[in-house]
Amino acid sequence: MKNLVLATGNDHKAEEFKDLFTHCEFKILSANKYGGMPEVIEDGKSFQANAYLKAYALSKQLKKKHWVIADDSGLEVDYLDGAPGIYSARYAGAKASDMDNVNKLLGALSGVSKSKRRARFRCVLCLIDKEGAAFYFEGSCEGIIGLKPKGKSGFGYDPIFLPDGYESSFAELGESIKMQLSHRAIAVTTCKNFFEKKL
């Protein structure tokens, strides 16, 4: 089994990716196993650009000895012209908490009807092989923004995001259902299909 190093210092995200990449040719390892993530200034103008910046920085640090994968993801709200988008994690400021971001978004949508609260979680994965070639995989999950936070599981905007076909938020549905529906799960499935064809 080959190692695939995930460009993150976030252990929660590393565990999520390990679960998503089960039954795969690669074993997912966190960048923490190799001295941690190098500092990256995420100044790209798209999810794809920021995913590449993270993957490239780690690949360079590892001297191209391993395949590397990075993700960049966020929430896009149609009524807000795609915001918060690439700024999802820092929507309410550089040191904003999840609840700070949620409250700012709910404030921005105050008084907006359900029909105009369409949104999606979007994820772009950047995979860099040992030769330095980059490959991209994308996934999205459509839904609406609820009127108030509901549920205790999940993180980020999960308590206010209701995926299509459900009246419950991601934070209420639990990890098993989220893992089937999520933008990240869809992107990973596309990546796994790529591995099956390429390797």
From CA 169, how far away is CA 150, in angstroms rounded? 6
Mean of the pLDDT values across residues 158-181?
A: 92
Mean pLDDT of all residues belonging to the chain: 93
Tell me the per-residue pLDDT of 113-153, one tens digit each, with 9 for 90 and over.
999 999 999 999 999 999 999 999 999 999 999 999 999 88
User: Is 129 considered catalytic here?
Assistant: no
Please indicate whether residue 112 or residue 19 has the higher confidence score (pLDDT): 112
Q: Which position among 43, 71, 72, 78 bears the catalytic label? A: 72
CATH of the domain at 144: 3.90.950.10
Number of domains in the chain: 1
Tell me the per-residue pLDDT of 146-158, one tens digit each, with 9 for 90 and over.
999 999 887 899 9
Tell me the per-residue pLDDT of 3-34, one tens digit each, with 9 for 90 and over.
899 998 877 788 888 888 888 878 899 999 89
Range of the domain at 126: 2-198
> Exposed (0-12), middle (13-18) or buried (19+): which is 42, by Cβ within 10 Å?
middle
Nearest-10 Cα torsion for 153, 180, 164, 45:
80
Adjacent-strand bridge partners of 98: none
